[in-house]
Amino acid sequence: MPDANSSAPATASGMRLRILATSDLHMHLLPYDYLANRPCERVGLARTASLIQKRRAEVKACLLLDNGDFLQGAPMGEVVARLRGPLETIHPAIAAMNALGYDAVALGNHDFNFGLPFLRRTLGAARFPVLAANVRVSRGPGFRAYALIERRVMDDQGRPHMVRIGVTGFLPPQTDEWDQDLRPHLHSRDIVEAARDVIPRLKSAGADVIVALAHSGIGPAEPQPRMEHAATALATLPGIDVVIAGHTHEVFPGPHWDDRPGVDPANGTLWGKPAVMPGFAGSHLGIIDLNLSLDVQGRPKVTSFQVRCEPVPPSTRASDLVVRPVTAAHRITLRQLSTRIGRSASVLSSHFAVIGHDDGLRLVNLAQRWHVRRRLAGTPFEGIPILSAAAPYRAGGRGGAHYYTDVPAGRLNLRHLADIYAFPNRITAIRLTGAQLRDWLERSASMFNRVPHGAADTLLLNRDFPAYNFDVIDGVTWRIDLSQPARFHPDGRLADPAARRICALSWQSRLVKDDDPFILATNSYRLASCGLFSPLVRANEIVLDRDAMTQDVLRRYIRRQRRICLPERANWDFMPQPGTTALFETSPAAQNRPLPRPGRLQPAGQSADGFALMRLFL
């Protein structure tokens, strides 16, 4: 509404409000790659901060918002969560966001990874509202559903007006399933359902403009119950003026968004409303400029807008506003990561994980099997074959051409373990049949596009299938027939009931029968009801439920072995297709390493995104 001291007419216009947004920082506060142990020009809130200060200085009215997943991800997050002492005073991420003057932040699903007590203690020092409108807590203080922020804007006649911006935040409704330790104390609701409740409350509180911080991907246009990627559906609701999306680490506006209902990648809109998704780890800054005028009641309303997602240039200097409050935690993190735990005779790299060669993945699987075998000794499950499933978490994709596990042979430090296994998951083991085991592998094999016999340079990988869902199971062998269609969609829905890609599935050189019993070591995330693999095992017996942290088991296994020597055999391979080639992307660093399949692989140039292209002869 107009300022009380202004006599501006109801036709006042020319008012401008800028919204700056970050998302999915994942504790990348400094421009430093802790896994490679060297400075990095691709990540870091400290670099983004310099761009924030520049873009903020260009306008008179500005909001700075974050869209969640800021407390977990980089090794500093793990160190801060585990250590006691000086780091307990104020969390470095909160200290940095306080220094930058964030106006509000939303919580993401990974912000809950270290438990509610840690989260509450951490947020206690925040000098900004922290929002989670679709979360209810059964014990203790809950989280705010919205905040009302005022900004004074000037019209084209130089007269001031007060604008009240309502900001609300949402996270995936699967959060309480992904972190099942939260389930007794936390319940996360459907995003669209919660938004319908909070919008009238914001209107009643006097909000002129409503911004939805949606830690959620850009998904289907039509609302679906408990949908994970709800940003597009959220934009259909009357009352919401701006959507900030996130969670999937993508960039919007940008390429790869064509032909999606309600999505306009050229103008940066979801159902005609301004929207951004600002990448990952401080790679981009979302910028939305709202042009306002007064409606017939004399209240500000959005009349037009400009949207862009600006990349942070590699040459950008790190801002001291972030560097100063984070330096102590940075030094402690470096000391912790240098702790020695063993040696490896092998290079542990995910450069060729998508064609069956990933020693880091095999190490995780061996450690999980070792742990489960010890835990089940002397129980009724002893004697049932134990298998182990793990996926490559760092294998390119949305993380970019340098987002790969790459641990040299020799000394192994805690830094290298963080490179191999990044998430705070817990080991879980379930009983399953040979038929379920085959379907598990069919779901993983959905990552590959169909490659017809005799085709030349077909793209091997489905871009919609993230590598972290590509489970490789140790303890059995199999082949994948790429000439067949995928049995499942990337989201786990059955695509073709007649399709079968998995061939020659064997245990100890014997073909697996449908009723053969197995114990599968996996992680707690895999059993969430929304997961890619969960439909297979919803009624299965859980023989080890959310046991030790996978990272801790991996560390104990390496220390026990002292020197890791991994077998050179592969768990799986593709069925031969003479005269057929496929292309896949990998890190440019892979071109300087011995190729795992001499005669079957050759370099094939570089992609527009900076990946090295490899040609696979099938």
Query: Could you tell me what percentage of the chain is helix, strand and coil, using 3-state DSSP and rounding each to the nearest 5?
Result: 25, 30, 45
Which CATH number fits the domain that encloses residue 494?
3.90.780.10
Q: Where are the strands (E) in 361-418, listed by range?
A: 386-390, 406-407, 410-413
Give the pLDDT mean for 155-166: 93
User: For residue 591, is pLDDT > 90?
Assistant: no
| Cα angle 250, 193, 254; round to 5 | 15
Q: Looking at the domain assignment, is residue 327 inside a domain?
A: yes
Give the pLDDT mean for 177-188: 80
User: For residue 87, is pLDDT > 60?
Assistant: no
Per-residue pLDDT, 4: 38
Q: Based on the domain organization, do 323 and 379 belong to the same domain?
A: no
Average pLDDT, the chain: 91
Per-residue pLDDT, 32: 96
Q: Looking at the domain assignment, is residue 1 inside a domain?
A: no
The proportion of the chain whose per-residue pLDDT surpasses 90, expressed as a percent, equals 74
User: For residue 166, is pLDDT > 90?
Assistant: yes
User: For residue 1, is pLDDT > 50?
Assistant: no
Q: Looking at the domain assignment, is residue 407 inside a domain?
A: yes
Could you tell me which of 536, 545, 572 has the C-alpha nearest to residue 440?
536
Q: Based on the domain organization, do 376 and 317 belong to the same domain?
A: no
Q: Based on the domain organization, do 55 and 182 belong to the same domain?
A: yes
Q: Looking at the domain assignment, is residue 8 inside a domain?
A: no
Could you say which of 285, 306, 333 is where a domain stops? 333
In sequence order, the β-bridge partners of residue 563 are 343
User: For residue 284, is pLDDT > 90?
Assistant: yes
- The secondary structure of 130-179 as a DSSP string is EE-TTEEESSS---BSEEEEEEEEE-TTS-EEEEEEEEEEE--TTHHHHS
Could you tell me which of 245, 281, 254 has the C-alpha nearest to residue 48?
281
Could you say which of 299, 333, 367 is where a domain stops? 333
Which has more confidence, 183 or 455? 455
Give the pLDDT mean for 383-389: 96
At 404, give phi and psi (nearest 5°): -140, 150
Rg (CA), the chain: 25
Most confident range, picked from 67-76, 533-542, 604-613: 67-76
Give the pLDDT mean for 510-531: 87
Rounded Cα gap, residues 394 and 416, in angstroms: 12
Reading the block at residue 345, the tokens are 């005779």
Q: Based on the domain organization, do 301 and 367 belong to the same domain?
A: no
Give the pLDDT mean for 280-301: 94
pTM: 0.89
| Chain Cα centroid distance, residue 429 | 24
Q: Looking at the domain assignment, is residue 339 inside a domain?
A: no
Could you tell me which of 323, 515, 519 has the C-alpha nearest to residue 428?
519
Going by pLDDT thresholds of 50, 70 and 90, the confidence category of residue 481 is very high
At 495, give phi and psi (nearest 5°): -100, -45
Q: Looking at the domain assignment, is residue 338 inside a domain?
A: no
Q: Are strands 209-214 and 160-170 parallel, antiparallel or unpaired?
A: parallel
Give the pLDDT mean for 110-126: 92
SS3 417: helix
Rounded Cα gap, residues 322 and 317, in angstroms: 11
Q: Based on the domain organization, do 328 and 423 belong to the same domain?
A: no
Give the pLDDT mean for 52-67: 97
Give the pLDDT mean for 36-41: 92
Q: Looking at the domain assignment, is residue 43 inside a domain?
A: yes
Per-residue pLDDT, 429: 93
Q: Based on the domain organization, do 295 and 397 belong to the same domain?
A: no
User: For residue 528, is pLDDT > 90?
Assistant: no
**What residues make up the domain containing 150?**
15-333
Q: Based on the domain organization, do 415 and 349 belong to the same domain?
A: yes
Q: Based on the domain organization, do 403 and 527 belong to the same domain?
A: yes
Q: Looking at the domain assignment, is residue 195 inside a domain?
A: yes
Q: Based on the domain organization, do 353 and 415 belong to the same domain?
A: yes
Of 170-184, 229-243, 561-575, the range with the lowest mean pLDDT is 170-184
Q: Based on the domain organization, do 300 and 390 belong to the same domain?
A: no
Residues in CB range of 510: below 8 A, 6 or more apart: none
Q: Based on the domain organization, do 293 and 369 belong to the same domain?
A: no
Give the pLDDT mean for 234-258: 94
Give the pLDDT mean for 268-284: 97
Most confident range, picked from 106-115, 422-431, 530-539, 565-574: 106-115
Q: Based on the domain organization, do 415 and 462 belong to the same domain?
A: yes
Which has more confidence, 152 or 401? 152
Most confident range, picked from 33-42, 239-248, 417-426, 541-550: 239-248
Could you tell me which of 522, 557, 551, 519 has the C-alpha nearest to residue 367?
557
Rounded Cα gap, residues 157 and 170, in angstroms: 38
Give the pLDDT mean for 77-81: 91
Contact 469, 447 (CB under 8 A): yes
Contact 104, 132 (CB under 8 A): no
User: For residue 180, is pLDDT > 80?
Assistant: no
For 333-374, how does the pLDDT look when each residue is reduced to its tens digit (9 = 90+)? Answer: 999 999 999 999 988 999 999 999 999 999 999 999 999 999
Number of separate domains in the chain: 2
For 8-36, how does the pLDDT look when each residue is reduced to its tens digit (9 = 90+)? Answer: 444 577 899 999 999 999 999 999 999 98
Rounded Cα gap, residues 606 and 505, in angstroms: 35
In sequence order, the β-bridge partners of residue 458 are 582
SS3 301: strand
In sequence order, the β-bridge partners of residue 123 are none
Rounded Cα gap, residues 493 and 489, in angstroms: 5
The proportion of the chain whose per-residue pLDDT surpasses 70, expressed as a percent, equals 96
Q: Are strands 348-349 and 186-188 parallel, antiparallel or unpaired?
A: unpaired
Which CATH number fits the domain that encloses residue 149?
3.60.21.10
User: Which secondary structure element, helix H or strand E, spans residue 460, and what is its range?
Assistant: none
**Distance set, CA 408 to CA 39, 62, 172, 430, 612 (Å):** 18, 46, 37, 33, 20
Count of residues in the chain: 618
Could you say which of 307, 333, 359 is where a domain stops? 333
Please report where in the chains the tokens 């964030």 appear, as a residue: 102
Which has more confidence, 524 or 605? 605
Rounded Cα gap, residues 90 and 76, in angstroms: 14
Could you tell me which of 240, 218, 543, 584 has the C-alpha nearest to residue 386?
543
CA-CA-CA-CA dihedral for 215, 220, 222, 228, to nearest 10? -40
Per-residue pLDDT, 11: 59
Per-residue pLDDT, 84: 57
Reading the block at residue 178, the tokens are 């992904």
User: For residue 7, is pLDDT > 70?
Assistant: no
